[in-house]
Amino acid sequence: MFDGKAAKSRSGPVLALLAVGATIVCTAFGASAALAAGNVAASPVTPGAGYPAVTAVTSAIAPPSAAVAVPSAYLNPETGVVTPATRESRLSSSAFPVYYITSTNKGYLSGIHRCRLIGNDGINQGVECADLYAVPDSSDGFPGVDVSAAAEGFCQNLGNTSDYPACQAIDIGFQAAQAGGTITPFWGLFCGAATGGPNCTTGRQSEIADGAGAYIHQDSITGCVAQPGTVNEYWTTLESGDSIQLPSGTQVAVGGNWSSQHAIVCPG
């Protein structure tokens, strides 16, 4: 994670959007490749709204030491029924994962990871991904949870999808959103000379929006309503105009916002 970020603002020239058509490769945390593929393909952004399937790989974006929170249950938004987390409920086409955040169940939210292709130059492609990150917080005297947007950007070789060469630049804006509640300012994942950030490195670059005003705090005093459209529903939005400069120097950009899978998040 790149430290010292401020709320994101975008400047510089508008970049041309290249044609897409390559495969995006990403994964959900803590799952086998087969389950991750099924989960990503079946999980809509909102009930009834599907999105293209992606190919899963076994590597997760979180470093080995990163904490990962797993769903405690799944919500059927059509019936309002919450059932314990099982393989069957997880693969439901409209299920919302429900996370109870505690000292032992915290960090990146498993199953929320969602990616989109920005563009390619015939050799490498630029990919950005959206995640959610949640940790317990009782600093105001009430047991609660802090929910942060998280994002990932990387360059990936088209012929060897396990190869992540260093991009020349990555410029991604992302924010956390709460249904019927708060939307945070855009936070930035920057690297490369063109952005004024540190040099990009090989591998998948990740960032958590955990600075002042960049995350959403929820107290347990508000209770937990495990239903869509309530303040317990969260997601991460990636900004329209995000761009990646590939190793060749080719710049690719994308239009339209993009979101992670939605989740129900509650203090444990």
Give the residue from 151, 155, 176, 153 showing the smallest Cα distance to 164: 155
Q: Please say whether the beta carbons of 85 and 72 come within 8 A.
A: yes
Percent of the chain topping pLDDT 70: 71
CA dist 208 → 139, 204, 228 (Å) = 20, 13, 24
Average pLDDT over residues 132-155: 89
Averaged pLDDT score across all residues of the chain: 74
Average pLDDT over residues 99-118: 91
Q: What pLDDT score does 13 carry?
A: 29
Q: What pLDDT score does 105 carry?
A: 93
Q: What pLDDT score does 165 carry?
A: 96
Residue 182 has pLDDT above 70, yes or no: yes
Residue 141 has pLDDT above 80, yes or no: no
Q: What pLDDT score does 76 carry?
A: 81
Q: What pLDDT score does 189 carry?
A: 93
β strands within the chain, DSSP E: 25-26, 55-56, 68-69, 73-76, 81-84, 96-101, 107-109, 114-120, 124-136, 144-157, 169-178, 187-191, 205-208, 215-219, 233-238, 243-245, 251-253, 258-259, 263-267
Q: What pLDDT score does 219 carry?
A: 78
Q: What pLDDT score does 87 carry?
A: 59
Dihedral (Cα; 194, 198, 199, 201), 10-degree rounding: -130
Q: Please say whether the beta carbons of 45 and 51 come within 8 A.
A: yes
SS3 128: strand
**When comparing pLDDT for 119 and 213, which is higher?**
119
Q: For the chain, what are the domain ranges?
A: 25-267
Q: What pLDDT score does 235 carry?
A: 93
- Spatial separation of the C-alpha atoms in residues 84 and 72, rounded to whole Å: 6
Find the angle CA(45)-CA(109)-CA(186) to the nearest 5 degrees.
65
- Spatial separation of the C-alpha atoms in residues 261 and 45, rounded to whole Å: 5
Lowest-confidence range among 55-64, 122-131, 158-167, 185-194? 55-64
Q: Burial, 30: exposed, middle or buried (Cβ in 10 Å; 0-12, 13-18, 19+)?
A: middle
Q: Please say whether the beta carbons of 168 and 192 come within 8 A.
A: yes
- Joined tokens for residue 196: 């004024």
SS3 33: helix
Q: What pLDDT score does 89 carry?
A: 55
Average pLDDT over residues 79-108: 79
Residue 231 has pLDDT above 80, yes or no: yes
Q: What pLDDT score does 228 carry?
A: 85
- Joined tokens for residue 15: 């970049």
